[in-house]
Structure 1
Amino acid sequence: MYIYNTTFCLEDSALDDWKSWLDEQYIPMMTADGSFSDVRIFRVLAENAGDSFSISVQFSVEALVNVQRWQKDKEQQLALDVTRRFGTKVLYFSTVLEVLV
């Protein structure tokens, strides 16, 4: 079992639009083929964040091959969509976590 984690760094001014995008586009895109499930969303606690903050969006995924397929087929689409919609107001990075316990 793996967790596909994407941490989004947002300016305060982008929050409402980002929430709508998350619910209407990102989560449906990630879960469309059934490979990713059990979405969990966390706020990253950080001191001195200023007028921005970070949110971690995590999905469970059974097999690493599903992550690799998503990266090959959809990752570029996500990058274009985020850049087109938010410019530099929303930045992100993704990591894959292996569940040990």
Structure 2
Amino acid sequence: MLIYNVTTNVEEDVHDEWVEWMKNIHIPAMSQTGKFKKATMSRVDVVESMGGITYSVQYRVEDKATLERYFEEDFEQMKKQTKLFEGKFVSFRTEMEIVHEQ
């Protein structure tokens, strides 16, 4: 099992709209690709603030092959959705392998 993590810092002037868009539009669209088993959105408690508000969305995916299919088949379309907030956020992505859960 892998986690595809997207950490985003969003400007405060669009924060509320962005959060609602993530919960009601973007995360459901990611789920509808059929590639992800679960998505968890968390607010990040940042020690050194750079301004804005930071969130992490962790998408659980079965294996690397499925994640690669997401990048080949769906990534560009999902990225286009973010144009609504262009210039108002910064994101970075991380792939993590789950090695143990209890």
Q: TM-score, normalised by structure 1?
A: 0.86
Q: Give the CA deviation at 1:50.
A: 4.6
String of CA shifts for 1:76-100, please: whole Å, max 9, x gaps.
2222221x20121122122111001
Residue aligning to 2:23: 23
Contact 2:37 2:61 in 1 (8 A): yes
Runs of 4+ in 1 over 4 A off after TM superposition: none
Which 5+ residue runs of structure 2 have no aligned equivalent? none
Q: Give the CA deviation at 1:55.
A: 0.3
Which 5+ residue runs of structure 1 have no aligned equivalent? none
Q: Over the residues paired in the alignment, what is the CA RMSD in angstroms?
A: 1.5
String of CA shifts for 1:34-77, please: whole Å, max 9, x gaps.
32122111222223325312100011111111111111122222
Is the partner of 1:39 in helix, strand or coil? Answer: strand
How many residues align? The count is 100
Is the partner of 2:59 in helix, strand or coil? Answer: strand
Residue aligning to 1:95: 94
Contact 2:30 2:78 in 1 (8 A): no
Q: Percent identity?
A: 28
